[in-house]
């Protein structure tokens, strides 16, 4: 059974179809890329999936449940978590505290027991700290765990953003252009981080501009253009698809004219 199934998904802004009739599904454990030229509807697709925007048409089924038009925090609690391009929760707190806070989000606890600091709560607190350390290590941020988030170089900040999403315990992690603006070393580190996340069995949906990254890590790719799905397949298939080539490079006869 697919972990995410999207059918006939559409989003209309006034007279503009930012997204129309997209059918798409993701199997558990997959790593899938969504690409397309600027304005193709990639961000809208992410916004509709995560509940930031309500779709105009269609249905989003996540983990066997219809989450169409649900509030973002509900969708996130179900396990569909997305990152934003370059926002961290507390820019003036250390890396460790940032991740610790995110670790607390999935814990469902009794507020009264929580406030009284009962032994069970203390035990969980210790477990949270352990988990925080683990995630920081996974993100390759151990060396900077005590630095303030806003003092980190760009690559580390982005890694922290992904670590925060990871800390909330997602089943499907949606990464919004995780390597934008990174240098070659940072891109390599991020790719390795994404690979480590995958090894833990988390399904990944990746929106990315950099074709190189998408081609090198994704098993399957969906291509959007003007809000419509124009192709879907393995990196090789997509690369050789005439519709995709046209979307990115233009029609051959346009060049001639």
Partner 1 sequence: MTKASPLRWVGIGVLALALAVVLALVPFVGGSYYAHIGILVFLNITLVLGYRLLCVAGLYSFCQITFFGIGAYTSALLSTRLGWPVWLCFVAAGIVAALFSMGLILPAARVRGVYFFLVTFGFLEVMNAVFLHWSSLTGGDAGVLVSAPLIGTGTQTQDYFVILAFVVITVFVMWRIERSRFGRELAPIGNAEGLAAVSGINVLQNRVLAFAIGAAVAGFAGSLFAHDAAYISANDFSMWDTIYILVWLVVGGPRKMWGPIVGAVAMTLIAEFLRMSGIMQALFYAGVLLVVVMAMPQGIVGFVDMIRIRFGRRTPPAAELQTVSEPPRAESLVEGSQ
Applying the rule CB under 8 A, the residues between 180 and 239 that interact with partner 1 are none
Q: How far apart are CA 189 and CA 124, in angstroms?
A: 31
DSSP 240: T
Verify binding: residue 244, partner 1, rule CB under 8 A: no
Closer to partner 1 by Cβ: residue 116 or 256: 116
Closer to partner 1 by Cβ: residue 57 or 77: 77
* SS3 call for 20: strand
Q: How far apart are CA 187 and CA 217, in angstroms?
A: 12
Q: What interhelical angle do 154-167 and 184-199 show, nearest 10?
A: 10
Q: How far apart are CA 70 and CA 113, in angstroms?
A: 29
Chain position carrying tokens 């070659």: 184
* SS3 call for 2: coil
Do residues 48 and 55 touch, judged by C-beta distance below 8 A? yes
Do residues 61 and 67 touch, judged by C-beta distance below 8 A? yes
DSSP 32-78: EEEE-STTSSHHHHHHHHTTSS--SEEEEEETTEE-TT--HHHHHHH
CB of 146 vs partner 1, minimal distance in Å: 5
Considering only the stretches 12-20, 88-96, 196-204, 229-237, report the one whose residues sit in contact with partner 1 under the rule CB under 8 A. 88-96
CB of 186 vs partner 1, minimal distance in Å: 21
Verify binding: residue 254, partner 1, rule CB under 8 A: no
111 Cβ contact partners less than 8 Å away, ≥ 6 residues apart: none
Q: How far apart are CA 53 and CA 4, in angstroms?
A: 17
Verify binding: residue 150, partner 1, rule CB under 8 A: no
Applying the rule CB under 8 A, the residues between 159 and 178 that interact with partner 1 are 164-165, 168
Verify binding: residue 96, partner 1, rule CB under 8 A: yes
Verify binding: residue 133, partner 1, rule CB under 8 A: no
Verify binding: residue 87, partner 1, rule CB under 8 A: yes
Verify binding: residue 92, partner 1, rule CB under 8 A: yes
Closer to partner 1 by Cβ: residue 106 or 233: 106
Verify binding: residue 115, partner 1, rule CB under 8 A: yes
Considering only the stretches 7-15, 91-99, 188-196, 217-225, report the one whose residues sit in contact with partner 1 under the rule CB under 8 A. 91-99
Verify binding: residue 101, partner 1, rule CB under 8 A: yes
CB of 63 vs partner 1, minimal distance in Å: 14
Residues at the site binding partner 1, with contacts judged by CB under 8 A: 50-52, 71-73, 75-77, 81-82, 84, 87-92, 94, 96-97, 100-102, 104-107, 109, 111, 114-117, 125-126, 146, 148, 164-165, 168
């Amino acid at each position: 059974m697919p972990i995410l199934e999207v059918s006939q998904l559409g989003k209309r802004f006034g007279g503009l179809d930012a997204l129309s009739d997209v059918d798409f599904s993701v199997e558990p454990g997959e790593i899938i890329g969504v690409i397309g030229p600027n304005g193709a509807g990639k961000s809208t697709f992410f916004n509709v999936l995560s509940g930031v925007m309500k779709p105009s048409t269609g249905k989003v089924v996540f983990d066997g449940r219809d989450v169409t038009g649900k509030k973002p925090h509900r969708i996130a609690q179900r396990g569909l978590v997305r990152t934003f391009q370059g926002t961290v929760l507390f820019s003036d707190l250390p890396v460790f505290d940032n991740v610790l806070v995110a670790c607390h989000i999935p814990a469902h606890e009794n507020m009264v027991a929580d406030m009284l600091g009962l032994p069970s709560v203390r035990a969980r607190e210790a477990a949270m700290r352990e988990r925080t350390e683990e995630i920081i290590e996974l993100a390759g941020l151990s060396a900077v765990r005590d630095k303030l988030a806003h003092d980190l170089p760009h690559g580390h900040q982005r890694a922290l953003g992904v670590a925060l999403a990871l800390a909330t315990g997602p089943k499907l992690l949606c990464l919004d252009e995780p390597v934008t603006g990174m240098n070659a070393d940072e891109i390599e580190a991020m790719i390795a981080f994404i690979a480590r996340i995958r090894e833990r069995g988390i399904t990944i949906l990746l929106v990315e501009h950099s074709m190189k990254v998408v081609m090198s890590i994704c098993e399957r790719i969906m291509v959007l253009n003007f809000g419509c799905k124009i192709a879907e397949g393995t990196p090789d298939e997509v690369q050789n698809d005439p519709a995709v080539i046209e979307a990115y490079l233009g029609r051959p006869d346009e060049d001639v004219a």
